[in-house]
Amino acid sequence: MSKHPEGKHIKVGILGATGTVGQRFITLLAQHPFFIIHALGASTRSAGKLYPKAANWKQTTPIPAIVRDMIVHECDPRYFVDCAAVFSGLDADAAGDIESTFRNADLAVFSNAKNYRRDPHVPLIVPLANASHLSMISQQRALHQPPLSKGFILTNANCSTTGYVIPLVAMEKAFGPIETCMVTTMQAISGAGYPGVSSLDILDNVVPYISGEEEKMEWETLKILGGIAEADDGTKTFDMHSRHPLRVSASCNRVPVIDGHTMCVSVRFSRRPPPSPQQVREALVAYTPLAQTIGCPSAPVHAIFVHEEPDRPQPRLDRYYQDGAGVSVGRVRQCPVLDIKFVVLANNVSIGAATSSIINAELSILKGVVVA
Amino acid sequence: MSKHPEGKHIKVGILGATGTVGQRFITLLAQHPFFIIHALGASTRSAGKLYPKAANWKQTTPIPAIVRDMIVHECDPRYFVDCAAVFSGLDADAAGDIESTFRNADLAVFSNAKNYRRDPHVPLIVPLANASHLSMISQQRALHQPPLSKGFILTNANCSTTGYVIPLVAMEKAFGPIETCMVTTMQAISGAGYPGVSSLDILDNVVPYISGEEEKMEWETLKILGGIAEADDGTKTFDMHSRHPLRVSASCNRVPVIDGHTMCVSVRFSRRPPPSPQQVREALVAYTPLAQTIGCPSAPVHAIFVHEEPDRPQPRLDRYYQDGAGVSVGRVRQCPVLDIKFVVLANNVSIGAATSSIINAELSILKGVVVA
Amino acid sequence: MSKHPEGKHIKVGILGATGTVGQRFITLLAQHPFFIIHALGASTRSAGKLYPKAANWKQTTPIPAIVRDMIVHECDPRYFVDCAAVFSGLDADAAGDIESTFRNADLAVFSNAKNYRRDPHVPLIVPLANASHLSMISQQRALHQPPLSKGFILTNANCSTTGYVIPLVAMEKAFGPIETCMVTTMQAISGAGYPGVSSLDILDNVVPYISGEEEKMEWETLKILGGIAEADDGTKTFDMHSRHPLRVSASCNRVPVIDGHTMCVSVRFSRRPPPSPQQVREALVAYTPLAQTIGCPSAPVHAIFVHEEPDRPQPRLDRYYQDGAGVSVGRVRQCPVLDIKFVVLANNVSIGAATSSIINAELSILKGVVVA
Amino acid sequence: MSKHPEGKHIKVGILGATGTVGQRFITLLAQHPFFIIHALGASTRSAGKLYPKAANWKQTTPIPAIVRDMIVHECDPRYFVDCAAVFSGLDADAAGDIESTFRNADLAVFSNAKNYRRDPHVPLIVPLANASHLSMISQQRALHQPPLSKGFILTNANCSTTGYVIPLVAMEKAFGPIETCMVTTMQAISGAGYPGVSSLDILDNVVPYISGEEEKMEWETLKILGGIAEADDGTKTFDMHSRHPLRVSASCNRVPVIDGHTMCVSVRFSRRPPPSPQQVREALVAYTPLAQTIGCPSAPVHAIFVHEEPDRPQPRLDRYYQDGAGVSVGRVRQCPVLDIKFVVLANNVSIGAATSSIINAELSILKGVVVA
């Protein structure tokens, strides 16, 4: 195991450690070059148990050695005081209070939950898309009562939003504002957690509805693709892409796929004439987010892999590419209604969830927002 | 078994009788009130065999008694001379020549194949949508060399096109022209025939591509939704919706569903302001195609069933409603980009294939285009 | 709707009416020739609601008209006093007390739950197998404190047991005692109820374990295949096949199939030499249970359908044959270890559950055990 | 990449390189410590093309760099003369002639095809079970006309046979001869190759039949578990377990699982009393085949992993453990009919196919049967 550039191991904690996202955090962090799992938190039902007893382990790799003898605690900050970063895989019904409590205890929380995504002081960061929003952390700390020196909450986005905003950001970077976006998703069952979707509801079936999902995609996209406006008094606000109003229409479906959200996307640019499909493909290939240039160890080599075959990406074949840390795009072609349409595949349990939080923490370390 | 209004049984034949669509034709026609299966045609490999020996029967109901002792013939018109209607479930590579040969022999061909859909004299009829295009048959006969008295080719549409044009026609009837339509499909494996899609390609997977399908949907929609223009010399042509240009963008996906194509559709009307979702729902419920008013026995009671539940229609629950002869629509709501979006489900092996051909034949009988 | 032979409609009630089995009872009873749904019982959460509001309807046919305006009651006998038969689709955790309460109220309970299957006075009847066990009812009534005139509890068997004991009974009838039976099941997800099996547990998977299932199959088989012993004082007991000890070994698996349990069975007969596969096939075809000869309207025409094709029965193709009321057997062949092996398919939601209860009630009416 | 103990890279070739098994050979050999892919053979249709153009790549990892610029040849020995080992992933219809031609050219063929498994001079080796059968190679060479110095054919077993004979061998080693074995399989679709099983045949279904599979399992088991008898003149023959006759009964089923064959097995030992379940578990855990002790790099650390949880092994969770090179056993318990029953899971595309051939080649190198 290599170490942090400065040669330190950095202690981290995991909230909701027994759940689906928590298990994924453990799997990924157990082999991380500088994060080291130090504390595990879960519900009172699990607290006090050895991790293997507390968790109904559902990963395809065995429980990592490092947590095999670890005791699960309640989600109380006192067990996490030594953690430079705390990853939250909590369910929404628990995340609100617990994450707030951890921030109050001056801890840095990297949350996968939806609760604080709409908070005007909390950055909603897809690490391959809008790492610049880290700049909001200092204001979040300053406005806290009392002001915090280290604590904050930073969230990643919904798993569907995450996948498709990465190519959208790459396109806006190359060709300027997008003004219209239509997206239809075909989402994996793992996105609903465990036990989540009943097999009777999804085998040989499509469910053309996921509660709240379309609203999340339509709203989160604006926060992520938007910039940060600064008032005369220095106060920062997320501008929600308001300088170039963007309309997003999402249609969300559940399909019988285990991992990997597939999305059909069509966009219209402000710029006339719009870029050609080939120009878009080149811009996607060329896109290099900060997480790569700054050397985040969990960032993929290819933020966006562009397929040339007509029938790719496919979730079963492409979801594990680069350990699911990048996104795959294919079928970039002209849209008879808007400008360009394409298919994007994102691994919802990797870049769509735990991997995003981890890269966000890596960014925070490497940018000095978190001092370990 | 009841009889035709005039008390006659009407003899019909089936081409491609051993294939997937052919099996469906047999299942449906075996219990038809006035059509009676008289002749079966298939490849030379099957010719001369008893039907149960020739077919690899894959339906969930047993082989109907009427064909159990029937000999399969080659697809030669001499075996079909007594048939008032010949249904074709032939594959595209065989359909071109055989259907033409049958028309030349003055036989009425109701084809499920794609070969003649773009022919300027052949009506492309979704029976719950554009039965008025039957008026093109007389010109097709007259222009044939030599002119025909009874023969013609009439096709139904691609299974995906069929499902979503029915609500589109209902909306245009109520609210005037649609000017833009975006549709993303999630199509069942049965749409690819047998053996069709390899299980290794589709289990736990989505394939975001079906060869030629998007082009078919984009083109066929214009022919079906368009009218028939008449020149000064009386020559009729399909106007391809040209009086109100319509742009259609289709994205087609294969999903692990056995039967039933689910589609997410969004439309923009010419009319400003556009209708509300509630107005659209009411128009869909009220829509009554000619096939119903004229009394086609295979027409559904509800051409369009409108669901109020947020998570319907679903293929597994809704595809067999009305024996798959109608379509199910749900989630009618405003689209942030176009006007109205909704989900439509159509049973691709029923209204999307054999049932359409049969209703087209019923329409032809009841309108006197075919005299039995 | 036709009527009972004597021209009466017979009122029946359903306990657990909103659940999976309850929905199936409603679907079947809504079109029954002489039973008429009179009362619906469910949990207090559902009580007082209109049935369509209380149930999360999951059948592929719409909610039958007869229950659309019916109010769901608590499972209290006073709402069911007019019912000649009460069908119980209750979960095991509720069935014990409620079914007992109903029997105490002198009501005839036909239960699909496991709670009373091992009761020494309660017959465990697979209607196509051991209808003769109805003779135990009079003793059950007599021994009750106070004695009952009409009330009793009669259970059907576990869905897996049901499917494979039918051919076993047919074989024992033709060839005498079976002494050894090995069975490996591949069971559908619907056997676990709703929500039941998580999709994450079963998509692209097999779960080689179903809690308690193997024990049920091994024990229930003995009670069903066994006779009734009568002591000198006239007391009857189930003999558990003890005159010819029978050893059963079951291995139960869950597979990603919606409906239909497939089982690989191998048996050894006491008789030497054993029957040939062809003799077994003929005996299975010839088998005619009392439910057929006595004219139970829900009994299948073929109790056992024997397939000649090498690759049948298959759940998707054969589970709906005869509305799932019979069982399908195929691949009858010699076993290199025991005598004969074969594959049996039974529709677990039909003959494996609600249909069995209904035929049991029909038998009770036609045999005069229940007087309507 | 490390090297062979003696520091050499050993050149190998792959026949049937574009097919499913061939792709798996390439994926595994591309990261092998001492084998290096040198030549690729496929049908004339593929010959002359670059590998990525010839293969319809279906693995979840990208095409390895080493074959990306390699030209595919016809299956002619002249392209493989420098290969110390030639792996055959050919289909049975081609394997017979080609493998024989390669042996005639004095090449060592490690075949995954069934053609020579029943040949009295060809060892049928499951590398974690009967590596001792390598001793038959010298006789195969000597009896060849003309005698061979290096060439031979060695096959691995059918994917189903492979999985379950490994625990059987471990049990016989610990407890002496098994006299009876019953096995019911639930086999993955990948076992049928590509395109293989039609999705219409297996989605929401079980097919209780795989042509020829039961015969293979019943016969191959005897050859693998049997010893080698030596006549007075030194001639060796496979004894087919004849000293302790073994009866095997197999029932084979196809289930909708992508990779991983699950099998329910029950055995009876000669020894009375038989071992207890706990003794069997311990014997399975302790089992260490030659491939491990001799240091085959592709051998798993645990030949047999024994699960204690009641519901394991499961194909989706356990098939990739140790890259699929070992087998997983669970539910070891008493059988009411035979002695011990258990569930075994084997990855059919790894230890059930390519991995077996590769370990067989490693064994041949390390035992000096092949001199590289």
pLDDT at residue B99 in the model: 98
Q: Which of A194, A201, A204 sits opposite C200 (nearest CB)?
A: A194
Q: Which of B61, B258, B320 sits opposite C60 (nearest CB)?
A: B320
Region of D368 on the Ramachandran plot (φ > 0 left; ψ -120 to 50 alpha; else beta): left
CB contact under 8 A, D258 and B195: no
> Residue B297 in contact with residue A288, Cβ under 8 Å?
no
C2 pLDDT above the threshold of 70: no
pLDDT at residue B77 in the model: 98
pLDDT band of C6, cuts 50, 70, 90: low
CB contact under 8 A, B264 and A209: no
pLDDT at residue A3 in the model: 40
The mean pLDDT value for A182-208 works out to 97
Distance from C-alpha of C79 to C-alpha of D85, rounded to nearest angstrom: 79
Instruction: Give how far A318 is from chain D: nearest CA, Å.
Output: 6
pLDDT band of A368, cuts 50, 70, 90: very high
> Residue C51 in contact with residue C25, Cβ under 8 Å?
no
First to last CA, chain A: 18
Q: Which residues of D are catalytic?
A: 159, 261
Write down the catalytic residue from C261, C296, C302, C307.
Answer: C261
- Give D-chain residues touching A315 at CB under 8 angstroms: none
Instruction: Give how far B261 is from chain A: nearest CA, Å.
Output: 9
Q: What is the tens place of the pLDDT at every residue in A7-46?
A: 679 999 999 999 999 999 999 999 999 999 999 999 999 9
The mean pLDDT value for D243-247 works out to 96
pLDDT at residue D228 in the model: 97
The upper half-sphere exposure of residue C139, i.e. CA atoms within 13 Å in the direction of its Cβ, equals 19
Instruction: Give how far A176 is from chain B: nearest CA, Å.
Output: 19
Please give the full DSSP string across B300-354, using - where no structure is assigned: -S-SEEE--STT---HHHHTTGGGGTSEEEEEEEE-SSSSEEEEEEE-TTIIIII
Task: Give the burial class of C359: count Cβ atoms within 10 A of its Cβ; 0-12 exposed, 13-18 middle, 19 or more buried.
Answer: buried
The CA–CA distances, whole Å, from A238 to A132, A213, C253 equal 12, 21, 53
B88 pLDDT above the threshold of 90: yes
Q: What b/e readout covers B19-35, taking b as 16+ CB neighbours within 10 angstroms?
A: bbbbbbbbbbbbebebb
- Give A-chain residues touching B336 at CB under 8 angstroms: 218, 247-249
CB contact under 8 A, B201 and D199: yes
Q: Tally C–D CB contacts below 8 A.
A: 125
Write down the catalytic residue from C75, C159, C181, C252.
Answer: C159
Longest alpha-carbon distance in chain C: 63
* Shortest CA distance from A338: residue in chain B: B249
Tokens of D312: 């394991």
Q: Tally A–D CB contacts below 8 A.
A: 25
Residues belonging to chain A with any Cβ–Cβ distance to chain C shorter than 8 Å: 58, 189-190, 194-204, 256, 258
| Strand pairing category for B10-15 and B85-88 | parallel
B83 is catalytic: no
Q: What is the tens place of the pLDDT at every residue in C17-34?
A: 999 999 999 999 999 999
CB contact under 8 A, A341 and B310: no
pLDDT band of D1, cuts 50, 70, 90: very low
D32 pLDDT above the threshold of 60: yes
pLDDT at residue A372 in the model: 79
Amino acid letter, residue C159:
C
Q: Which of C61, C62, C317 sits opposite B60 (nearest CB)?
A: C317
Q: Which of B61, B203, B318 sits opposite C204 (nearest CB)?
A: B203
pLDDT at residue C102 in the model: 98
Distance from C-alpha of D30 to C-alpha of D68, rounded to nearest angstrom: 11
Nearest to D167 by CA among D315, D330, D364: D330
Instruction: Give how far D270 is from chain A: nearest CA, Å.
Output: 37
> Residue C251 in contact with residue D263, Cβ under 8 Å?
no
CB contact under 8 A, B195 and D201: yes
The mean pLDDT value for D357-371 works out to 97
Write down the catalytic residue from B4, B38, B261, B307.
Answer: B261
pLDDT at residue C372 in the model: 79
Mean pLDDT of the residues in chain B: 96
Q: Which residue has the tokens 């056997």?
A: C191
Distance from C-alpha of D188 to C-alpha of D349, rounded to nearest angstrom: 10
User: Residue A284: what are its φ and ψ, rounded to 5°?
Assistant: -65, -45
Q: Which residue has the tokens 């062979």?
A: D4
pLDDT band of A2, cuts 50, 70, 90: very low
> Residue D86 in contact with residue D111, Cβ under 8 Å?
no
The mean pLDDT value for B321-341 works out to 97
Distance from C-alpha of B243 to C-alpha of B270, rounded to nearest angstrom: 12
Q: Which chains touch A (3 or more CB pairs under 8 A)?
A: B, C, D
B288 pLDDT above the threshold of 80: yes
B229 pLDDT above the threshold of 50: yes
Q: What b/e readout covers A350-359, taking b as 16+ CB neighbours within 10 angstroms?
A: bbbbbbbbbb
CB contact under 8 A, C255 and D206: yes
The mean pLDDT value for C127-153 works out to 97
C7 pLDDT above the threshold of 80: no
- Give B-chain residues touching A332 at CB under 8 angstroms: none
* Shortest CA distance from C59: residue in chain B: B317
Tokens of D54: 């010839």
pLDDT band of A310, cuts 50, 70, 90: very high
* Shortest CA distance from A200: residue in chain D: D204
CB contact under 8 A, D314 and C338: no
* C contact test, residue of A200, A258, A319 with most C CBs within 10 A: A200
| Strand pairing category for D108-111 and D85-88 | parallel
CB contact under 8 A, C314 and D206: yes
CB contact under 8 A, D182 and C182: yes
Q: What is the tens place of the pLDDT at every residue in B31-66?
A: 999 999 999 999 999 999 999 999 999 898 889 999
pLDDT at residue D4 in the model: 52
pLDDT at residue D7 in the model: 62
Amino acid letter, residue B3:
K
Please tell me whether residue B88 adopts helix, strand or coil conformation: strand
pTM: 0.96
The mean pLDDT value for A274-279 works out to 98
Cβ neighbours around A215 below 10 Å, total: 12
* Shortest CA distance from C20: residue in chain A: A200
Residues belonging to chain D with any Cβ–Cβ distance to chain C shorter than 8 Å: 180-182, 184, 186, 203-209, 211, 218, 247-249, 251, 253, 255-258, 262, 264, 266, 310-317, 330-331, 335-338, 341, 343
Amino acid letter, residue A276:
S
Which one-letter DSSP state was computed for residue C275? P
Cβ neighbours around B239 below 10 Å, total: 16
Q: Which of A204, A315, A336 sits opposite B247 (nearest CB)?
A: A336
* Shortest CA distance from A205: residue in chain C: C258
pLDDT at residue B3 in the model: 40
Q: What percent of chain C has pLDDT over 90?
A: 96
Q: Which chains touch C (3 or more CB pairs under 8 A)?
A: A, B, D
- Residue B328, Cα to own-chain centre: how many angstroms? 16
pLDDT at residue B251 in the model: 98
A1 pLDDT above the threshold of 50: no
Run of H or E including C11: strand C10-15
- Residue C313, Cα to own-chain centre: how many angstroms? 20
Question: Does the interface predicted TM-score (ipTM) exceed 0.90?
Answer: yes
Instruction: Give how far C228 is from chain D: nearest CA, Å.
Output: 24
Which one-letter DSSP state was computed for residue D244? S
The mean pLDDT value for C48-61 works out to 94
Q: What is the tens place of the pLDDT at every residue in C37-52?
A: 999 999 999 999 999 9
Instruction: Give how far D62 is from chain A: nearest CA, Å.
Output: 8
- Give B-chain residues touching A204 at CB under 8 angstroms: 256-258, 315-316
* B contact test, residue of A178, A180, A181, A184 with most B CBs within 10 A: A184
pLDDT at residue B7 in the model: 62
Q: Tally B–C CB contacts below 8 A.
A: 25
Cβ neighbours around A124 below 10 Å, total: 24
CB contact set of C273 (below 8 Å; sequence gap of 6+): none
> Residue C188 in contact with residue C260, Cβ under 8 Å?
yes
Please give the full DSSP string across D67-85, using - where no structure is assigned: HHTPBEEES-GGGGTT-SE
The mean pLDDT value for C344-348 works out to 98
In chain B, what are the helix, strand and coil shares in percent, each to the nearest 5? Answer: 35, 25, 45
Q: What is the tens place of the pLDDT at every residue in C276-296?
A: 999 999 999 999 999 999 999
Q: Which residue has the tokens 């890596």?
A: A362
A78 pLDDT above the threshold of 60: yes
- Give C-chain residues touching B317 at CB under 8 angstroms: 58-60
Q: What percent of chain B has pLDDT over 70?
A: 98
> Residue A328 in contact with residue A305, Cβ under 8 Å?
yes
Which one-letter DSSP state was computed for residue C27? H
D126 pLDDT above the threshold of 90: yes
Tokens of A45: 């039902």
- Give C-chain residues touching B59 at CB under 8 angstroms: 317
* Shortest CA distance from B268: residue in chain A: A337
